[in-house]
Amino acid sequence: DIVLTQSPALAVSLEQRATISCKTSQNVDNYGISYMHWYQQKPGQQPKLLIYEGSNLASGIPARFSGSGSGTDFTLTIDPVEADDIATYYCQQSKDYYTFGAGTKLELK
Amino acid sequence: QVKLLQSGAELVKPGASVKLSCKTSGFTFSTSYMSWLKQVPGPSIEWIGWIYAGDGGTNYNQKFKGKATLTVDKSSSTAYMDLSSLTSEDAAVYFCALTTEGTFDYWGQGVMVTVSS
């Protein structure tokens, strides 16, 4: 299985930039596509797709969310952070079946 | 719009089975892939498997083979997951999700399964 590693938590101030990282145990790129996706989950709710294939914004997602990276190192950036963005963020790969990171909880400083 | 409505919370005895449902609307169910996922706090989210509603073809995470069985009813645009021989390890929140090109685009609200005598 491809293992995805995320930091457990990140503290950020409103209106600042948040950078959430995800490292994979194997390369998740293939033919120029990064099979890395990002989700947001608020307490008591289902996850919501934010970014697909490394850097593509899902439908209806604000442009303050962006994704970058390739190979084994990926980043989700939120700039600027708004109060509604306080949530847990998961990365997920689809290069070899589907596995998720353990999530990064975004907290206010 | 896309909607996935899951059945209510379940309390089941150890060793028993449970069938979860996921009623969908707002998209063409008969040509869609539906996944089921398990979430336990701490260990995160696990993909259980998907089913192609068109022909009932399935693909399971090896870990859940023999534990989960996925089916669909095209007439009602509903996906189902049977979980068998439940133990405390199966206590979790289970989600259904519309799956396209490796992503889980839309999710049901989740259903909590509690295993207790």
pLDDT in tens, B82-114: 999 999 999 999 999 999 989 999 999 999 999
Residues contacting B32, CB < 8 A, separation 6+: B24, B52, B53, B54, B98, B99, B100
The CA distance from B87 to the nearest CA of chain A, in Å, is 23
B41 pLDDT band, cuts 50/70/90, is confident
Average the pLDDT over A60-66 and give the result.
97
Average pLDDT of chain A, as a whole number: 97
- The pLDDT mean for chain B works out to 96
Spatial CA neighbour of B22 closest among B82, B65, B66: B82
Percent of chain B whose predicted confidence (pLDDT) is above 70: 100
A46 with B109: Cβ contact below 8 A: yes
Q: Name which of A56, A63, A47 is nearest B98 in CA terms.
A: A47
Task: Give residue B42's pLDDT.
Answer: 72
Q: Is the pLDDT of residue B44 over 90?
A: no
Mean pLDDT confidence for A78-93: 97
**Total Cβ atoms within 10 A of residue A15:** 10
Residue A37 has its nearest CB partner, among B46, B103, B107, at B103
Looking at residue B20, its pLDDT comes to 98
- Which chain B residues are within 8 Å of A92, Cβ to Cβ? 45, 103-104
Q: Check whether B23 has a pLDDT greater than 80.
A: yes
